[in-house]
A and B are shown apart, each in its own frame.
Chain A
C-alpha cells in the first residue's frame, strides 16, 4: 500500500523541516523516500497547502491501571453524566476526566495524538495496567515503573549496596514489568507514610531505613543513567502542592548533580510563599533553573478550570489534600510493600485565588522556559484536567490576545500576582511541533515516532491552518496511524490496534536471586510469577522493544 501526501506544509522538527512544502510518501505504514517514476501510488491526498505534522505523543497521562479504575468507580456521577453511545466506528463508553479505554484511544486519535504513556505504573499493578492498555485502541502506549518507596530498594540502599546492585535491581524490575522508563514519586515518602510520617523533606531521613529522599532520588537517577535508559529518571518530587516547594524543587534539580532528570507536572512544584496569602508563583525561578540546566527536562501539568479527579501514587500528599475533595469523597490505598495510590476529586475554579494562580503559574512556566525541546505539554491528565484540554492550552500558548482575555476573567488578585500579562511570547507552530512530537519522541528514545523522515512510522496528521488554534488542534482534517486513516475532521473513522512500547536494557541477572528471596519471604508471590512475559502484552502481540542508549 503506497500513499502520497502532496503539497503539504511540513512541520518535522526532528528533520529540520519548518513549514517546508514537501510530499510525504508512505509504503505499508512507514514513511519512505520518494519512489522512482512509474511506481504505482495506491492512494493520493492533495493537501493543498495544509499543515502536516507527525502524530503527537503524550509523555505523561494517567490512562490505565488500578488507580484509574478506582477513580472511575469513585466518580460514578461523572460517568452517568458523560455516557458515549456507540456511533460509527466507535463503541460505547463513558467519562471525560477518566474515560473508558475505548473513549481514551478515540479521543486521543481524534486530536492527532498517536501515543500516550502511563507515567505511574506500580510493579504490583503492572499486569493490570498492561491488560487495560491492550484495550486502548489506535494509539501506542507504554508505562513508567514507579520505584523509590518499594521496601526492597530501600533495604538495598540502607544496607549500602553498590550502585551496580541498584542498577541491576532497577533493570530487573523494569524488565519484569514491561516498562518504558523509571519514575519516582515522592521518593521515600510513600514508604514513610506507611510508618505514619505525614511529611518528608528532601533532606529528612525517613523512618526505618534512615534514607533521605535525596539519597533515593540520586541512586535511582544514577541507575537509570547507568542502564542507559533513553528517558531520564521521571521525578514527581517531594512536597507536591505545598506553598514554598519551589525551594524543594530547586534543591531536587541540584541533587541530580549533572545526571539527566525529568521533573514532571512541575507546575505543582513551583509555589512560593510571598504575598498576604503566603502563596505565590515560583515559576520564574524554576524556569531560570531549567534554562541554565541542559540535562533537565520538564512537563508542566497545567491545570484547567472545571471538575476533575486527581489520582497519584503519592499517598502522603493525597491524604493531606483529601479534606479538599470535591465532591467530598476520596480513596487511598497502601500497596504491596511497593507504593500506594490516592484518588481525590477536585474542582479547579477560576474565581479561586489559589486555583487561578496555579493556572497562571503553569502558563508562566511554558512561556518562560526557552527551549521547547525540554518542556512538554501536559495537564498530568487527569490531575490538572483532562487531556482533551490540550487544544485550548495550545491556543493559550500561541495567542497572546486570547491569553490576556482569559487572564482578565480569573480571580483579580491572582492576576495581580502573576507576570503572565507582561509576557509577550507566542509559541510558533514549529515550537508546538517540537513540544508535542519531536521532543517527547527523542526523550523516550522512540526513533521511529515523532518525525516524518524515511523509516518513521506513518503517523501523519493533517491540519487546516486556522487562526483559531484551538479549533485547528481539536479537529485535524486527517489523522493516520501507521498509515491507516483513523480519524477525519475530529471523528474516529477506523479503530485499529495500538502497540505497547518497552525498553530492554542489559544488566546482571544475578540480582534475580535477591529479588526472588524478597518475593518469597515477604511479598507472597513468586518472582517468576510476578514477571510479565512478552505474550501477555497487547493480547499476545508482544511489546515493541527499544534498546538502551548505545544498543542497536
Chain B
C-alpha cells in the first residue's frame, strides 16, 4: 500500500495538483481530493475485462489485429473520443493520417462555441493565476460552473487578492445563473450577488450592460454592473460554454467578448472560458500544431479538410464506415453507434453497455502511466504521473500497434501512403 501525495488530476481541466491517493495492488482510492469528480475518477480497481473481439475474449495482439483489419479497409473512418493524453492524441493523429480518418474529441461541442468567436472576432482572455491574484470583479455568465469544475471557486477565486493593493476586495456576480450550495460554501467571505435575466436571454442581458457602459439606460442591474466593470481594476467575465445549452451559445460568447473589449478600453477586463474536460484542450492543441487546424479535421485522400460543422463526431459517426473511439480519461463511449464497426479503447470501469466489435481496455493517464494533459485555460500543460501498474497498455501503445499492422499491408485506398 502506498499513499501518493500531491497527485495531479487530469480530469476537468482545473489542474488541481494537491490530491492524496492511495494505491494498493491494482486498486486506487481517493484519500483527499475535495472533489466529487476526482473521487470517482481515482477510485479504480483491477480491470474487469480484457480485450474482446466480436464479444469473445482475445489477446491484445488479436484485438489490435482485428482493429487494424477493420480500420485498414475503411475509407472514411472516425477517430473520436480522444479522451487521452498528448502522446495518445499524437498517435491518434498519426493513425488518422495513415487511414484518412476524421478526428474529433467527444466533448468538442463546447470548444467550438468558443472557437467560432475566436475565428470571427478574436479573443481577449486570461488564465487561472491572473484570476486568483488580480481579479477584483468576477462575473460568471450563465450557470454555475461548479458541477463541471468542482473546485473552481475554492482554488481560483477564494484565495487572497495577492497582487492588488491592500484593502482591495473581490466581488463575484452571477449573471443569469445562481451559485450552488457548494459554490456558496467555497465563496464564504467573498461578496457574492446575483443579477437575474430580466425576461430576455443572455445576449440581451449583455447588450443591456454594453448599452449602459455607453451611457444608455442609467438605472437597473445592467447599469449597476456596467459601473462595477468600469470601476474594477481587473474584471474577469467567465463562462462555461458546455453549460450554455442554448442555440445562441456562441452569440452569448461573442457578446461577452465585445463587452470585455469595450471595458478593456477603460480599465482592464478579460474573458475566461471554462472547459477542457478529459483533455479536450490538449486534443485541440495537438491537432492545431500538427495540422494547422482545430479538431473536426479529415485526412482523407492524403490531404486536410477542416469543417467545424460537417466533421463533428456527432455528424460524422452516422456516415463513417468504421469508428475508433478513445476514452482513457473517463469520458465514456459515444452515445450514438456507427453503421460500421466500432473499436473502443476504454479505461477500466468505462466498459460500454453494448458490446463493440473490438474492445481494448487501456491505461488511464495519471493512474496507470505518466502523460500530459492541458489545463482548461489552454496555456498550462500538466504532467500527470503513474500510481499503479495494472498491466494496461497506453493509448499510444495500442494505436502505434494498430498503425504498424496497417502499415505492413498495402493501403486499401484513401490513405496517405
Contact = CB atoms under 8 A, between A and B. Distances in A.
Interface string A327-345: 0011111111110000000
Q: Give the most central of A73, A330, A521: most B CB within 10 Å.
A: A73
Nearest to B18: A526
Interface stretch (A33-41, A95-103, A224-232): A95-103
A76 interface: yes
A70 interface: yes
A163 to B, nearest CB: 24
Given A76-B119, A93-B291, A131 B86 contact: yes
Given A151-B133, A334-B127, 6 more contacts: A86-B303, A196-B267, A335-B126, A524-B129, A525-B15, A526-B18
Given A72-B289, A73-B294, A101-B290, A208 B128 contact: no
B233 interface: yes
Contact of B127 (A93, A103, A124): A124
B4 interface: no
Interface in B48-64: none
B327 interface: no
Contacts of B176: none
Nearest to B288: A69
Contacts of A536: 372, 383
B369 interface: no
Contacts of B17: 525-526, 529
A129 to B, nearest CB: 9
17 contacts: A68-B289, A73-B118, A73-B294, A85-B304, A86-B97, A93-B290, A128-B379, A131-B86, A131-B381, A193-B268, A194-B268, A331-B122, A333-B125, A336-B128, A522-B132, A525-B380, A536-B383
A60 interface: no
Given A135-B290, A196-B233, A334-B270, A92 B304 contact: yes
B288 A73 contact: yes
Interface string A65-96: 01011101110100110110111000111110
A127 B17 CA distance: 16
B258 interface: no
A83 B304 contact: yes
A64 interface: yes
Interface of B: 6, 8, 15, 17-18, 86-87, 90, 97, 115, 118-130, 132-134, 155-156, 159, 162-163, 165, 233-234, 264, 267-268, 270, 285-286, 288-294, 299, 301-304, 306, 372, 374, 378-383, 416-417
A94 B416 contact: no
Interface in A119-154: 122, 124-125, 127-128, 131-132, 135, 151
Contacts of A73: 115, 118-119, 288, 294
Q: Give the most central of A94, A99, A319, A336: most B CB within 10 Å.
A: A336
Q: Give the most central of B122, B126, B134: most A CB within 10 Å.
A: B122
Given A94-B291, A196-B233, A83 B119 contact: no
A334 B380 contact: no
Contacts of B302: 85-87, 92
A542 to B, nearest CB: 15
Contacts of B15: 524-525
Contacts of B234: 194
B381 A127 contact: yes
Contact of B97 (A64, A92, A337): A92
B291 A334 contact: no
Interface residues of A, number: 65
Contacts of A98: 292
A92 B291 contact: yes
A289 interface: no
Contacts of B134: 194, 337
Given A73-B118, A529-B17, A335 B379 contact: yes
B126 A94 contact: no
B125 A80 contact: no
A54 B366 CA distance: 43
Nearest to B119: A76
A135 B289 contact: yes
Nearest to A523: B129
Interface in A298-327: 319, 325
A113 B6 CA distance: 43
B290 A330 contact: no
A449 to B, nearest CB: 25
A402 interface: no
Contact of A102 (B87, B125, B264, B290): B290
A528 interface: yes
Nearest to A332: B124
Contacts of A93: 290-292, 304
A521 B128 CA distance: 13
Contacts of B299: 92
Contacts of A64: 289
Contacts of A526: 6, 17-18
B379 A124 contact: yes
A332 B417 CA distance: 39
Contacts of A330: 122
Give 10 closest A-B pairs by Cβ, nearest first. Answer: A94-B292, A85-B303, A127-B381, A331-B123, A100-B292, A329-B122, A86-B302, A86-B416, A79-B292, A336-B129
A91 B416 contact: yes
B132 to A, nearest CB: 6
A524 B289 contact: no
A89 to B, nearest CB: 11
B163 A337 contact: yes
A536 B132 CA distance: 28
Given A135-B289, A521-B162, A529 B383 contact: yes
A83 B292 CA distance: 9
B119 A94 contact: no
Given A69-B289, A330-B122, A334-B270, A529 B129 contact: no
B117 to A, nearest CB: 10
B133 A522 contact: yes
A80 B380 CA distance: 28
A102 B264 CA distance: 37
Nearest to B385: A529
